Amino acid sequence: MKPKLGDVIAKGTFEYNPVLIQCVGLCPVILASTSVQSALAMTAVTFADLLITSILASTVMKKWQRYIRVVFYLIIGMLIIFPILWFIENKTIMNMTLGMRIFLPLIAVNSVTAVHCEQFAVKNGLRPAVFDAIAAGLGTGIVMILCGALREIGGKGTFLGYPLGVSFKLSGMLMPYGCLVILGFAAAVLNKIYTRKPRRAKKEPVSSGPEEVSLDIDSGKDPEQIDMDFTFDDDEEYEYLLSSVNELIESFSMDSEREDEQ
């Protein structure tokens, strides 16, 4: 079955976000997200690098040895990232100073590219690999731009270079720890959204007093013949009950083991 573009992008961008969930490519995000402009430039570079490397990995490099492939990811990364960043910094009218000179080798050794090519592109065809590259590029880009916007507003008091008239600036936001704090909170929010806990069974209406339970011992019925056919509203409820029973069994078995040890 061919993967749908929408599903792949939704999963790759948010549910398995490369930066927030897989925790790869943190160095470029921290370095490049000091302003929205530099975040946009870095997003474009990462996107181009991911797309080209994924296409090559899914078509040409499939039969190569793994250690050769990884070296080639880095070489391709350098060949793409260095010229594009140099071009953005020096030859465009944006006249941007990205300030990444000494960190360029760290940015070029992009773990997002290596992870996505090695885990997905090599094992799949061209179409899924391109979809995955787009999703990973989008996921990284959204995080970079979000961090860039928050850090620029907090640290410089501007947005896209325009002053916002903020009376004080938190220069700590422009430091790496400022970005890590933002990434931590963003990862927590994403985890909260995508961690679905099993829904608990619906509560019974609270009665005014203790419920009366009658046990008819003399009914003459065999206990094993009592009807045990439970009905559940949905699968989640059933799974929740099953997991609770399993936990109970495990706790009993652990208790008995402890007693045996004693």
Q: Which is nearer to other proteins, 146 or 170 (CB)?
A: 170
Site string for other proteins, 169-208 (x = CB under 8 A): xxxxx-x-----x--x---x--------------------
Q: Which is nearer to other proteins, 21 or 48 (CB)?
A: 21
Q: Minimum distance from CB of 176 to other proteins (Å)?
A: 11
Site size for other proteins, by CB under 8 A? 10
Site string for other proteins, 14-33 (x = CB under 8 A): --------------------
Q: Which is nearer to other proteins, 62 or 169 (CB)?
A: 169
Q: Minimum distance from CB of 7 to other proteins (Å)?
A: 31
Q: Which is nearer to other proteins, 67 or 168 (CB)?
A: 168
Q: Minimum distance from CB of 181 to other proteins (Å)?
A: 6
Q: Which is nearer to other proteins, 146 or 187 (CB)?
A: 187
Q: Does 243 bind other proteins (CB under 8 A)?
A: no
Positions 121 through 180 that interact with other proteins (CB under 8 A): 168-173, 175
Q: Minimum distance from CB of 173 to other proteins (Å)?
A: 8
Q: Minimum distance from CB of 177 to other proteins (Å)?
A: 8
Give helix 126-151 / helix 36-59 axis angle, nearest 10°. Answer: 170
SS3 for the chain is CCCCHHHHHHHHHHHCCCCCCCCCCHHHHHHHCCCHHHHHHHHHHHHHHHHHHHHHHHHCHHHCCHHHHHHHHHHHHHHHHHHHHHHHHHCCCCCCCCCCCCCHHHHHCCHHHHHHHHHHHCCCCHHHHHHHHHHHHHHHHHHHHHHHHHHHHHHHCEECCEECCCCCCCHHHHCHHHHHHHHHHHHHHHHHHHCCCCCCCCCCCCCCCCCCCCCCHHHCCCHHHCCCCCCCCCHHHHHHHHHHHHHHHHHHHHHHHHHHHC
Residues at the interface with other proteins (CB under 8 A): 168-173, 175, 181, 184, 188
